[in-house]
Each structure stands twice: as structure tokens, then as C-alpha cells.
Chains A and B, each alone.
Chain A
Amino acid sequence: SQTIHQWPATLVQPVGSPLSLECTVEGTSNPNLYWYRQAAGRGLQLLFYSVGIGQISSEVPQNLSASRPQDRQFILSSKKLLLSDSGFYLCAWNHQELFFGEGSRLTVL
């Protein structure tokens, strides 16, 4: 069966520091992968999606970037975090429907 994992689960970072969140999918090949963010008091917002290695599409302008170095690996990054980057980040993949990882809670201080 397919599984999706994210790490770290919780992260506290100072403003201006770099960020790297990882997501890995197992049990499938060439998945479509997504990064969503859930800000406090708001619904989930699609940030990036990828249909294959090296292929990244951005849905909203922001301070973050995404990369897909391997077929089943999706990374969310930032060179310098802003306070507004705080939130709950969810990685997902789709097969007909959308399946989510456990999420990573980022607090920028």
C-alpha cells in the first residue's frame, strides 16, 4: 500500500534562518505531489505541485521554494524564513483522490 511521510513533525526557527521540509511517498511511482499550507484561522492553501522529477509549479507567490530531486521525494525550502511563514505544512499525493502526510508544524520566531 502507498504511504506518505513528512519530517520534521515540529520545527521552531528564528526569522532569517533556512528551512527544509521533506516529504517521501512509498508504494507508488511517478506520483503527483503537492505542498499545502494551513495558516492559523485559514483553510489549506496550495503552494506547489510537481508532476515529476525537477518539475515544479507554484500556485502563489511567496518566500518559499520547492524541489523534487527524486521521483518520490518532495522538498519545501526557504533561504530566509519570515514570520508569516509560520503554519502547518502538508504534503500530499493523488491517485484519483488526495492523500495527505502527517504534516509539519513550523513556528518562526
Chain B
Amino acid sequence: AQTVTQSQPEMSVQEAETVTLSCTYDTSESDYYLFWYKQPPSRQMILVIRQEAYKQQNATENRFSVNFQKAAKSFSLKISDSQLGDAAMYFCAYRSAALTGGTSYGKLTFGQGTILTVHP
């Protein structure tokens, strides 16, 4: 079974600075997807960024980018120019590409989460 580990329960950053959230995972599969989700205090969780394991290029989404190290099974999230609205709990998640059927999109393995605080 796959596991996802976020070793940083809490992180903090000054507004406008850069912060990196760590995530490692364990899998025997070669094809899979990785995600970062954001859960702000209003509680609705939203997708921040996704990475396909077969793509070597790191995904980027505006101020959010990832550092995907497949051999090391590491998937960190970098937030540049941090804003107050970035304060949230961030979850790293894994999805197997081997699953078939429509429900495979919904079967994710999540890490424990990292609470990010942004200081003005």
C-alpha cells in the first residue's frame, strides 16, 4: 500500500517571501499522480497543483511550483511571494495510475497535512 508523509506539522513564512512544504511518499508503482491540496480556514479543500509521475518537468501554477524527485520519492511544494490568503492546511496526496474506472479519480492517499501560517 502507498503511504504519504508530510514531516512538517507546521510552517510559517513572512508575507512576500518563499516557503517550501515537504512531502515524501512510498510506492512500488512507476506510474502515478501527485497532488497538493489547500484547506483554508473556511474549510473547503481545493486543488493547488498536480504532477504526473511520467512527466519529468515540474508542474507550476502561478506562484505555486513543485520539486518532483521521482527517485527520491519526494514531492515538495514551493510557494513564492507568499500572500496572507495562502494561510491554510496543505495536504500532499497520491493517486495510483493503475486504478481503473471513474472512481479511481477519487481514491487518493493523503499525508497528515502541514499548517502554513503567513505573517504580515
A12 within 8 Å of B (CB atoms): no
Q: Are A51 and B107 in contact (CB under 8 A)?
A: no
Query: Is A97 within 8 A of B105, CB to CB?
Result: yes
CB pair B47 A98 closer than 8 Å: yes
Q: Would B103 and A41 count as touching, CB distance under 8 A?
A: no
List, in ascending order, chain A residues with CB within 8 A of B103's CB.
Answer: 32, 34, 49, 51, 57, 94
Chain B nearest CB, measured from A68 CB (Å): 13
Determine if A49 and B107 form an interchain contact, defined as CB atoms under 8 angstroms apart.
yes
Residues of B55-111 at the interface with A, using a CB-CB cut-off of 8 Å, are 91, 93, 101-103, 105-111
B112 with A98: CB separation less than 8 A? no
User: Do B107 and A46 have beta carbons less than 8 Å apart?
Assistant: yes
User: In the complex, how many angstroms separate the beta carbon of A41 from the nearest chain B beta carbon?
Assistant: 6
**A100-B45, A103-B43 given as contacts; is B108 within 8 A of A46 (CB)?**
yes
Residue A87, interface by CB 8 Å: no
Using Cβ atoms and an 8 Å threshold, which residues of chain B touch A51? 101-103
Cα A98 to Cα B44 in complex, Å, equals: 12
| A38 contact set on B, CB distance < 8 A | 113
Verify if A43 is at the interface (C-beta below 8 Å from B): yes
Residue B30 at the A interface, CB < 8 A?
no
Is the beta-carbon distance between B47 and A43 smaller than 8 angstroms? no
Q: Residue on B with the closest CB to A90? A: B45
